[in-house]
Amino acid sequence: MVRSALVFLLAALFSLPLYAQVISVQGRVADKVTGAGIADAVIAVGDMAFGTRADGSFVIRLNLEMDRELTISMVGYNPRVVPIAKDVSKSIELGDITLTKGSDRTQTEELIQDIPVIELTESDFDENAAGNVSGLLQAARDPFVSAAAFQFSAARFRIRGYESRYTTVLLNGVSANDPGNGDVFWSEWAGLNDVMRAQENQVGLSFQGESIANIGGITTFDTRAHRQRKQIRAGYATSNRTYRNRAMVTWSTGWLKHDWAVSVSGSRRWGQEGYIPGTHFDGWSYFLSVDKRLAKNHLLNLTVLGAPVNRGRSIANTKEQNEIAGTNYYNPYWGKQEGEVRNSRVVDAHQPIAILRYDWQMDASSNLMASFSWQDGKYGSSALEWADARDPRPEYYRRWPSSMDDPASAAQVKEALMNDESLRQVDWTYLYNTNYNSPATIQNVDGIAGNSISGLRSKYMLQEYRSDARTLQGRVVYMKSLNNRHLISAGLQGQQLQTDYFKSVLDLLGGDFWLDIDRFAEFDFPNNPEVLQNDLDRPNHLVREGDKFGYDYQIRSQNYQGWAQANFTGSRMDGFIGAELGMTSFYRLGNTHNGRFPENSQGKSEVLDFLTWAGKGGLTYKINGRNYITGAVFAAANAPDFTNAFVSPRTRDQVVPDISTEKVFSGELTYRLQAPNFKFRATGYLTEIRDQTDVITFFNDLENTFGNYILSGLNRRHIGTEWGAEWKLTPSVVINGAAALGQYYYTDRALASVIQDNTGEYVYQDRTVYIKNFHMDGMPQEAFSLGVTYNSRKFWFANIQLNYFRKSFLDFSPDRRTAAAVVGVEQGSEQWHAILDQEELPAGFMLNVFGGKSWKIKDTYLYLNVGVNNILNNTDFITGGFEQLRFDDESRDVSRFPNRYFYAFGLNYFINFSVRI
């Protein structure tokens, strides 16, 4: 199948007319003083860039009608422009092009690179991955992408509104997208900034030889040791964001004797409390990369990296809660235990990955890359659990004045909550004391008659939700350039994933054991002891710290793809085309025999198979050497995320009816101007994502039971334009501007079904959800940035940037957009609108400043960078939020369960000092 696709592609390609006059240019980039070749120097021609080989040599293709100069640059060296003489008409050999070391410009560039963006992955705004810009740590030269990465990320901006799963991320050739849902977990390699610099970012639908990337584009990291700059570097940073301190040390040897290269890096990021109260951070990162050149054209690399982290989380709050707490950063997750702040919601994760990569330069025009990786680890997220006891969470709505019927009591409670912080925080002492006073004798433990065990039965405990994934990947990519005009590449890739989902007991909080029964079933089926059991094979099971309980299942997933693509360079036209075909299959394997679902909780579920495909193509028309127009289209069918394929995988293997692949169609048109002192890009795009299904499990407080909400037939459109410009006013003053004008919205009504989690029965089925033209939530759909940078010849620079965000919308509850939600409500009334309208969040400004200075003392470089974001300390900037899924369908009063909002950090800073030799 793959081969025939390839043949088809090649045939299609060769039928295109090609008139360009293309020559090949060879040469070698070398250090002026030592004469040594410089590997991985960047040779830019027009809007394309190439890297030099390990010995500094290069061979590139040049379209003489377009490009008449090469810009050669390398970090740590002064860049050089090499013109190609007008009379050249055949392939030429340029010989050695030498670069001189050091300059203000490269030092300044390095400073800029050292300014980290706000790493949303490390904050709590999103349990999962961040948007698709956080990874662009050292963003490309593109002014728009640069603004998106450095300036917009604090507002949770996402390029074109895409989730991170629509951006392909490759780590040394293997996919870093989660095989389950495609999300990218940047935190898995956080704290390794020094060694993750060798990366390439492409946003949108452009050609990239290593992969048929998704609609968001692609980011590739090359962690090979010889690609790391030869250095010893140590740095310390202080910040008031998610952590207070960061210490980092890196040692990269470059090529050593006997064809070895080694790169080692480690860091620690820590803080007893981050910007938000009660959020501790304790993270280590480690990295080891070893290269061995086996033979002249054979290179082997082993990379091992990991970032164990333990961090306290925070939550979005209602306006009432923030008002009473006196801050928009109120965090109910922590409480004092014997005088110390303890967070009840802690992420504890460590998912190390080992990658073995083999590169074979088969001949001057073709190479083969094979990568294999193994990832194994733990992802745990803690939470309080309780039984036969009151809800211990301070944020529980019944504890807040707005839920109270009696205005006098409400006022009294409000005052108490305002004056007594301990009432707004977790009362650990109460939890311990409750457990200390709950002696119990459990009969027939593990279903063994007469086996009775006495002790303190914990009414409260700290549990950990675990999703421990093991992933095995293999990926082979072959690339060949044909007669300097065509590049073809093809690849095969496969992923196997096993994720264990279970809960474990983290801390019994003074008790002796936890009785593993379902407290919600206890309420729903008071007189059926079987139904309560989480595992019928071990009824009345007692668990202690470290034991699994609640649920225990595995998702086994595998996917394979084959793809091929071709790129051609013409005189006026460049183009590419590519296609991919694959399959994804997964199933659930239940390890427990659930009392609610004795028939379908244990063992293997139905295997779900999906045929996936993607196709992509584009053309660039070169008006002249400075003006380009590019158009590209993309279509794909993606497998659904398995969390949206099972109704409630924690208890059973019930499959969402009619689950199918989602269909993606995307097109974009770009105009680019590339002048010496002025860069400009404008892109228009249109993307349709259709047939999505979303499964949400939520607690229906009024029914006191869980429901599974299945939303199907979600069709959405992302349409908009992107603008970016950079104007070099003088050699030291640069003005840049960027704008994103997008509209991301649902194009059709969807269907909702609700299944009662404890019985598997439909509460209702296929109810129309009126969300046509509702907006996607979670990011500003319009963002603007304007800034000026001053680059001093005396090794310092400063940048001030004003950003403006608007058209951000609240996540909406589908249940409120059904006909049933407005029964008896007068059409067009205030209440009608309160229930149905989607809330648009206020627009906001953010002013950011950053700068840096470097010194060179003999061979030692010292760097200092300072970044201050939100310098006006705007603490009312709402980045997003959500409506609660509960809806009181008696009173139909939406304020009963008020919305929750996330706020951007107020003034926050990052100061980094590093030393390099």
Partner 1 sequence: MKRLFHYLLLVGLLIPTACVDLDFDEPPPGGEPIDITANATILDLRSWFVPGAFTAITDELIIRGIVIADDASGNFYKTIVIQDETAGIEIKLNSVGLANDYPIGREVFIRCRGLVISDYNGLVQLGGGTYDDAGQTRLSGIEEALLKDYLVAGERDQFVTPKVKGIKDINTNDMSTLIQLTDVQFIQSDAGQTYAEPVTQLSVNHMVEDCSGNSILLRTNGYADFAGELTPSGKGTLVALLGVFGSDLQLFVRDQNDVDMQAARCGQGGPSGGDVDEKFETVGNNADVALAGWLNVATKGTRVWRGKTFSGNTYVQATAYNDTDPEMETWLITPAIDLSVAKKLTFLSSVAFWVHDAGSVLISTDFNGTNIGGATWISLAAQLPTSSTTNYDWVNSGEVDLSAYSGTGYIAFRYTGSGPGGQTTTFILDDVLVQDK
268 binds partner 1 (CB under 8 A): yes
Give whichever of 234 and 798 is closer to partner 1, judged by the CB atom. 234
d(CA 333, CA 705): 23
Interacting span for partner 1 (CB under 8 A) from 18-26, 184-192, 247-255, 491-499: 247-255
Among 78, 103, 272, 874, binds partner 1 (CB under 8 A): 272
Strands 167-171, 92-99: pairing is unpaired
List of residues 6+ apart from 586 with CB closer than 8 A = 555, 556, 557, 558, 607, 608, 642, 645
Is-contact 279 327, C-beta < 8 A? no
What does residue 622 show for φ and ψ, rounded to 5 degrees?
Answer: -100, 105
Listed residue (52, 28, 32, 55) closest to 42, CA to CA: 52
- Measured distance CA(222)–CA(205) in Å, rounded: 21
**Residue where the block lists tokens 């699994």:** 548
Smallest CA-to-CA distance from 681 within 691, 673, 689, 692 is with 673
With the C-alpha atoms ordered 834, 839, 840, 844, is the resulting torsion angle positive or negative?
A: positive
- Is 863 a binder of partner 1 (CB under 8 A)? no
Residue placing its CB nearer to partner 1 in the complex, 408 or 823: 408
- What is the closest distance, in whole angstroms, from the C-beta atom of residue 286 to partner 1 in the complex? 12
**Which is closer to partner 1, CB of 270 or CB of 520?**
270
Smallest distance from partner 1 to CB 214, Å: 37
Query: In terms of CB distance, is 225 or 237 closer to partner 1?
Result: 237
Pick the closer one to partner 1 by CB: 113 or 245.
245
Angle at 815 between CA 812 and CA 821, to 5 degrees: 115
CA atoms of 498 and 377, how far apart (whole Å):
11
- What is the closest distance, in whole angstroms, from the C-beta atom of residue 596 to partner 1 in the complex? 17
The structure tokens listed for 544 are 């202690």
Nearest to 213, CA basis, from 274, 272, 170: 170
- Let me know: does 302 contact 308? Beta carbons within 8 Å: no
467 C-beta neighbours (distance < 10 Å), count: 16
In this structure, are residues 717 and 747 in contact, taking their beta carbons and an 8 Å threshold? yes
Helix (H, G, I), strand (E, B) or coil at 319: helix
Strand pairing report for 217-221 and 167-171: parallel
273 with 200: CB under 8 angstroms?
no
| Rounded least distance, CB 416 to partner 1, Å | 5
Which of 254-262, 404-412, 481-489, 862-870 is the region at the interface with partner 1 (rule: CB under 8 A)?
404-412
**Least distance between partner 1 and beta carbon 241 (Å):** 15
- Alpha-carbon distance of 780 to 625, in angstroms, equals 35
Sketch the per residue contact string, 297 through 336, with partner 1: x for CB under 8 A, - otherwise: -------------x--------------------------
Neighbouring residues of 698: CB distance < 8 A, sequence distance ≥ 6: 706, 707, 709, 885, 886
Name the residue nearer to partner 1 (CB basis): 418 or 619: 418
Question: Residue 56 and residue 278: Cα distance in Å, rounded?
Answer: 51
Q: Whole-angstrom Cα distance, residue 816 to residue 825? A: 12
Q: Determine, following the binding rule CB under 8 A, whether residue 808 of this chain makes contact with partner 1.
A: no
**CB atoms < 10 A from the CB of 828, how many?**
8
Q: Applying CB under 8 A, which part among 56-64, 280-288, 590-598, 640-648 lies near partner 1?
A: 280-288
Q: How many of the chain's residues bind partner 1 (CB under 8 A)? A: 52
- What's the closest the beta carbon of residue 284 comes to partner 1, in angstroms? 9
CB 751 within 8 A of CB 769: yes
The 117-156 contact track toward partner 1, x by CB under 8 A, reads ----------------------------------------
Cβ-based nearer residue to partner 1, 94 or 234: 234
- CB of 204 or CB of 380, closer to partner 1: 380
Q: CA 385, CA 504: separation in Å to the nearest integer? A: 11
Numbers of helices and strands, H then E, in the chain: 8, 48
> Interaction with partner 1 in 408-447: which residues (CB under 8 A)?
408-409, 412-413, 416-417, 423, 428-429, 432-434, 436-438
Range in contact with partner 1 (rule: CB under 8 A) among 212-220, 274-282, 630-638, 769-777:
274-282
- The encoded tokens of residue 498 equal 């096993």
Rounded CA separation 578/634 (Å): 9
Smallest distance from the beta carbon of 322 to partner 1, in angstroms?
A: 17
What is the maximum span of the chain, computed from C-alpha positions, in angstroms?
99
- 404 contacts partner 1 (rule: CB under 8 A): yes
Q: Residue 407, interface with partner 1 (CB under 8 A)? A: yes
Encoded one letter per residue, x for contact with partner 1 by CB under 8 A and - for no contact, window 481-520 reads: -----------------------------x----------
Q: In the complex with partner 1, which residue's Cβ is closer, 719 or 915?
A: 915
- 3-state SS of 748-773 is CCEEEEEEECCCCCEEEEEEEECCCC
- Whose Cβ is closer to partner 1: residue 268's or residue 749's? 268
Which of 633/911 has CB closer to partner 1? Answer: 911
Nearer to partner 1, 527 or 730 (CB): 527
Q: Is 686 in the site for partner 1 (CB under 8 A)?
A: no
Q: How many CB atoms lie within 10 A of CB 345?
A: 23
Nearest distance from C-beta of residue 648 to partner 1, angstroms? 23
Which residues are registered as beta bridge partners of 467? Answer: 501
List beta partners, residue 505.
463
Q: How far is the CB of 761 from partner 1 (least distance, A)?
A: 15
Residue closer to partner 1 (CB basis): 324 or 636: 324
Tokens of 803: 């950003």
Which of 459, 503, 672, 900 contacts partner 1 by CB under 8 A?
459
Least spacing, CB of residue 705 vs partner 1, in Å: 13
Min dist. Cβ of residue 394 to partner 1 (A): 9
Q: Spell out, one character per residue from 371 to 400, where the chain touches partner 1: x when CB under 8 A holds, - when not.
A: ---------------x-xxxx------xx-
Q: Which of 125, 255, 281, 501 binds partner 1 (CB under 8 A)?
A: 281
Contact string (CB under 8 A) for partner 1, positions 176-205, x = contact = ------------------------------
Task: Output the smallest distance, CB 237 to partner 1, in A.
Answer: 10
One residue of 11, 17, 295, 338 binding partner 1 per CB under 8 A: 338
- Between 434 and 559, CB nearer to partner 1: 434
User: Given the complex with partner 1, which of 410 and 633 has the nearer CB atom?
Assistant: 410
Give the nearer residue to partner 1 in terms of CB position, either 527 or 624. Answer: 527
Separation CA 384–CA 787 (nearest Å):
46
The sign of the CA dihedral 251, 252, 256, 258 is positive
| Structure-token pair, residue 278 | 């009660």
Residues 6+ apart with CB under 8 A from 891: none
Residue among 33, 89, 326, 406 that touches partner 1 (CB under 8 A): 406
For position 236 contacting partner 1 by CB under 8 A, the verdict is yes
Of 24, 113, 337, 571, the residue at the interface with partner 1 (CB under 8 A) is 337
User: Measured from the CB of residue 410, what is the shortest distance to partner 1 in angstroms?
Assistant: 8
Tokens 């001030």 — which residue?
800
The answer to whether 830 touches 811, Cβ cutoff 8 Å, is: no
Tell me which residues touch partner 1 (CB under 8 A): 232, 234, 236, 245, 247, 249, 251, 268, 270-272, 280-282, 310, 337-340, 342, 386, 388-391, 398-399, 404-409, 412-413, 416-417, 423, 428-429, 432-434, 436-438, 459, 510, 526-527, 915, 917
